[in-house]
Amino acid sequence: MLTSARDAGVRTAPSTATDDGGMKILSIVHVTLACAVYRWAMGQIHPLHPDLPRILIKWQEMEERAQQLWA
């Protein structure tokens, strides 16, 4: 006999009390590391490299996202 939605194989929404805080911390860590990698890449890449604009755009997006997460 099934006693819960989990037993039936139905996915339920995670509790927001614990998961929102943990996910925000993971998002902040991810964005911070991504910004550091893009900052490092900008210092290492040749100024005429064809990927430079793409890296610059991604770096700016990550910086904006970091500001939103910290707000």
pLDDT tens column, 7-44? 556 565 555 444 577 888 899 899 999 999 999 999 99
pLDDT tens column, 38-53? 999 999 999 999 999 9
Give the DSSP letter string of the chain.
---STTTTT---PPPHHHHHHHHHHHHHHHHHHHHHHHHHHHHHS-TT-TTHHHHHHHHHHHHHHHHHHH-
Q: What is the pLDDT of residue 10?
A: 59
